C-alpha cells in the first residue's frame, strides 16, 4: 500500500498540481493513472518514485517502489555498461551477475558491455534502462506512458516482460489513453484538473469519469454538445462509458488479431 498523507506539490513558479491529496493506493495491483494533459501524471510518478519530493505532506510507501521505468539519467557516461548495471544491481539489492545475464538476454549488446556508456546508441541505452527496470526486483513498477521503448518489432517482448513481472508485483502506469489503461491495468486513479483524484476499483467507471473530463477530440459535434448540456446527468455519463467500452473492445480484438 502507498499512503499519500495530505500531500501537496506545486511547481516553484506557483502552479499547484496536487493540493492536500490524502488517498491510499494499492501497491500490489496493476493500477492505471488516467488523466488529461497537465493533470500531473508524470509528476505523480516522480513523487511516488522519489525523484521529486512533495512540497508538503508525505508519502508513506509500504512497498519497495521502482524508479520510473527506463530511468537512464542515473547512468554515468564514462563508466562501462557493466559498471553501471552492477552499481544499480547493488544499490537495489539484486545479484549483479543475474541482472547482467538478464539484460544481455534482452538487449543485443554485441561486445559493448565493457565500453563506456556514452558509446552506446541512444535507443540501445534506453533499451538497457528498460531492461534494467524489469531485471530488478520491486514490489511496484512505475511506468510513465510507456512500458518499453518504441520499435514495433520489440513490442511483444516488453509486453511479455510486463506481464511476467506484474504477475507477482504491482504496477502503476500513467497514461492518457483509456485503451492502454484497460489493456494493461485492472483498477485506476483518475486525475482531474483542480479537483481531488478519485480511485476506482472498476475500470469502466474510471474511464467514464475520464471521458467526461476529457471529451474525445474526434467526437461528432452534436454528441459533444449534448454531453456538455447534460453534465452531471448520469445517463449521459453511462452512454459515454458504453461508447468507451465499445472502443476498447474493438482495440482488444485488433490486438488479438495481431497476435
Partner 1 sequence: MSQAYPSGRIYAAGPRRHALRSQFNVLSALLFREAEMRQGQNFALGYLAAGIEPLIIVGTIGLLFSALAKTPPYGTSLLLFLGTGVFPIYLFIHTSLRLRQPMNPGAQRQRFPIERPFDHILIHAVLHLVSSALVTVLFFGSLYYFCGVNAAIPEDPATAISALFIILLLGIATGICNSVIARIFPIWDVLWPAFARASLHFSGPYFVAAYLPPDNRWFFGLNPVIHGVNWFRHAFYPFYPNQLTDQSYLLTITFGLLFLGLLLEAGTRRHFEEKD
Kindly state whether residue 2 participates in binding partner 1, applying the rule CB under 8 A.
no
Tell me the three cell numbers of residue 214.
476529457
Residues across the chain: 259
55 makes contact with partner 1 (CB under 8 A): yes
- The residue among 64 and 155 lying less far from partner 1, judged by its C-beta, is 64
80 DSSP β-pair partners? 116
- The string over 94-105, giving b where at least 16 C-beta atoms fall within 10 Å of a residue's C-beta and e elsewhere, is beeeebbebbbe
Under the criterion CB under 8 A, does residue 76 sit at the interface with partner 1?
Answer: yes
Q: Quote the least distance from Cβ 35 to partner 1, whole Å.
A: 21
Reading the block at residue 107, the C-alpha cell is 538487449
Calpha distance 96→92 (Å, rounded): 10
User: Is 155 a residue that touches partner 1 (CB under 8 A)?
Assistant: no
From the list 125, 165, 179, 192, which residue makes contact with partner 1 (rule: CB under 8 A)?
A: 165
Which residues, 217 to 256, sit near partner 1 by CB under 8 A?
none
**Residue 35 forms beta bridges with which residues?**
191
Nearer to partner 1, 60 or 238 (CB): 60
Among 73, 232, 234, 235, binds partner 1 (CB under 8 A): 73
Is the dihedral angle over the CA atoms 28, 30, 34, 40 positive or is it negative?
Answer: positive
Q: Which is nearer to partner 1, 91 or 254 (CB)?
A: 91
H/E run at residue 195: strand 195-200
**Which residue, 50 or 225, is less far from partner 1 as judged by CB?**
50
* Binders of partner 1 in range 103-132 (CB under 8 A): 105-106
Which grid coordinates are listed for 19? 493540493
Tell me the three state secondary structure of residue 138.
coil
Q: What are phi and psi of 139, to 5 degrees?
A: -80, -35
- At its nearest, how many Å lie between partner 1 and the CB of residue 21? 18
Give the Cα separation of 230 and 153 in Å (integer).
44
Asked whether 149 and 127 are in contact (CB, 8 A), the reply is yes
* Site track 6-45 with partner 1 (rule: CB under 8 A), x = hit: -----xxx--------------------------------
Which parts of this chain interact with partner 1 (CB under 8 A)?
Answer: 11-13, 49-53, 55, 62, 64, 67, 71, 73-74, 76, 78-79, 83, 87-95, 98-99, 101-102, 105-106, 134-137, 157, 160-161, 164-165
Amino acid at each position: 500500500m502507498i499512503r499519500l498523507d495530505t500531500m501537496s506539490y506545486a511547481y516553484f513558479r506557483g502552479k499547484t498540481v496536487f493540493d492536500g491529496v490524502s488517498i491510499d493506493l494499492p501497491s500490489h495491483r496493476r493500477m492505471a493513472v488516467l488523466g488529461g494533459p497537465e493533470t500531473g501524471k508524470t509528476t505523480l510518478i516522480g513523487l511516488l518514485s522519489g525523484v521529486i519530493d512533495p512540497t508538503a505532506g508525505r508519502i508513506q510507501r509500504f512497498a519497495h517502489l521502482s524508479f520510473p521505468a527506463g530511468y537512464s539519467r542515473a547512468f554515468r557516461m564514462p563508466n562501462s555498461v557493466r559498471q553501471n548495471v552492477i552499481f544499480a544491481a547493488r544499490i537495489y539489492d539484486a545479484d549483479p551477475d543475474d541482472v547482467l545475464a538478464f539484460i544481455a538476454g534482452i538487449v543485443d549488446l554485441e561486445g559493448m558491455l565493457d565500453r563506456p556508456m556514452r558509446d552506446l546508441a541512444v535507443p540501445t541505452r534506453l533499451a538497457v534502462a528498460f531492461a534494467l527496470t524489469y531485471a530488478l526486483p520491486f514490489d511496484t513498477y512505475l511506468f510513465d506512458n510507456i512500458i518499453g521503448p518504441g520499435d514495433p518489432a520489440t513490442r511483444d517482448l516488453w509486453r511479455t516482460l510486463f506481464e511476467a513481472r506484474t504477475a507477482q508485483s504491482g504496477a502503476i502506469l500513467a497514461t492518457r489513453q483509456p485503451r492502454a489503461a484497460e489493456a494493461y491495468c485492472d483498477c485506476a486513479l483518475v486525475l482531474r484538473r483542480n479537483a481531488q483524484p478519485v480511485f476506482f476499483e472498476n475500470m469502466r467507471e474510471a474511464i467514464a469519469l475520464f471521458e467526461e473530463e476529457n471529451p474525445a477530440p474526434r467526437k461528432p459535434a452534436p454528441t459533444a454538445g449534448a454531453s456538455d448540456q447534460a453534465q452531471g446527468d448520469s445517463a449521459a455519463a453511462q452512454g459515454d462509458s458504453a461508447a468507451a467500452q465499445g472502443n476498447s473492445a474493438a482495440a482488444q480484438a485488433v490486438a488479438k488479431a495481431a497476435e
